[in-house]
Structure 1
């Protein structure tokens, strides 16, 4: 009975904290204006810095509750620029020693830099092909929980990319739920390329090398 009451209370709290679509649209307009004023690189770096700090602290500690402003920043940021989404992916599947915050910020704010493109490709290729590189499952599951909280709290289209990153992380973990989550994402947005990639890879049995190690 106590567990049931706790679950009911938690559900009610989550319902009361849903983001208003108009508020997220207004935040998106602010993001656009800041990018026009400061330029994309500086604006994206400023947008990501504090939220990424909280995200990384949670990944390290196993905490999964994000500040409301952080959740909104990620929901809007991932919807507006995929480089922010990609930085979060790398924070989950690559350890902090090889990909610290400074590098994540580079990926988020300067995705078209030749050096950053090359470094991202190197990190992903090694992690995908080296069966000795095993993901930190606790870290990944903490990230998935945060991403799903953002997706649950945000309306379409702001929920799509958090859901797609959660699906991608499940696929990276070899979790069969990745297919269902990717399909759910595609039902919301059939043009979500990350979800389509996850769905196709999972259906064809393509997985990181560690899964067959």
Structure 2
């Protein structure tokens, strides 16, 4: 029996209904407005949990950090647009001083705006190339644990992008398990480019600048 801290998994039919509704809203209202409405509460929940110093880090704890609705919405949005996946990844490895939640929401809603694209690329490149930018272990643990929460609540076909994000964060932290998560993502979807990049980097022993210097 599930406890109050363990939300019931979301069935395929429920996920499909939510996904169909998002697609219809995008057609009638436009992507920007629909993504904002769909992710307003889940993304706020996500960002609050990322910054929570009291959560994460204890793999033995059964407590889920994301609500059932939040997990389902984020999984669907990641599958619908890579902008959501990329924004969630950046939110884990870059703190809110460099990439605010307002910017990240704006990127998810309007990823093609030149200013949004440039800022996101600078955030990712900076974390990779700047040796002074070391992982915030607590924030990374919170993000990885929430991605595992999502995987635990949604059908398998929605696991690809969460696994790809986990693989990137683990690689960035210097964790050898990054390759395993990337390979699992590729087993589910051989076209997952982020997972392929991490597999290649891990195989060639390429890491972020902070790890190379240490």
Give 1:59's match in structure 2, choosing from 46, 50, 60.
50
**Map of 2:58 onto structure 1:** none
**Map of 1:123 onto structure 2:** 123
Is 1:46 matched up with 2:37?
Answer: yes
**Map of 1:167 onto structure 2:** 167
Contact (CA 8 Å) 2:132, 2:210: kept in 1 or not?
yes
Offset of 1:206 from its aligned partner? 1.4
TM-score, L = length of structure 1 = 0.90
**Map of 1:37 onto structure 2:** 28
Q: Distance in 1 between matches of 2:157 and 2:178?
A: 20
Offset of 1:198 from its aligned partner? 1.0
Mapping of residues 1-213 of structure 1, within 5 Å: 14=6, 17-62=8-53, 63=55, 65-213=65-213
Contact (CA 8 Å) 1:178, 1:198: kept in 2 or not?
yes
Q: Distance in 2 between matches of 1:93 and 1:21?
A: 31
Offset of 1:129 from its aligned partner? 0.7
Q: Distance in 2 between matches of 1:157 and 1:30?
A: 18
Q: Distance in 1 between matches of 2:43 and 2:204?
A: 33
Structure 1 vs Structure 2 CA RMSD = 1.8
Residue ranges of structure 2 left out of the alignment (5+ in a row): 56-63
Residue ranges of structure 1 left out of the alignment (5+ in a row): 1-8
**Map of 1:3 onto structure 2:** none
Q: Distance in 1 between matches of 2:84 and 2:77?
A: 6
User: Which is helix-richer, 1 or 2?
Assistant: 1
Offset of 1:132 from its aligned partner? 0.6
TM-score, L = length of structure 2 = 0.90
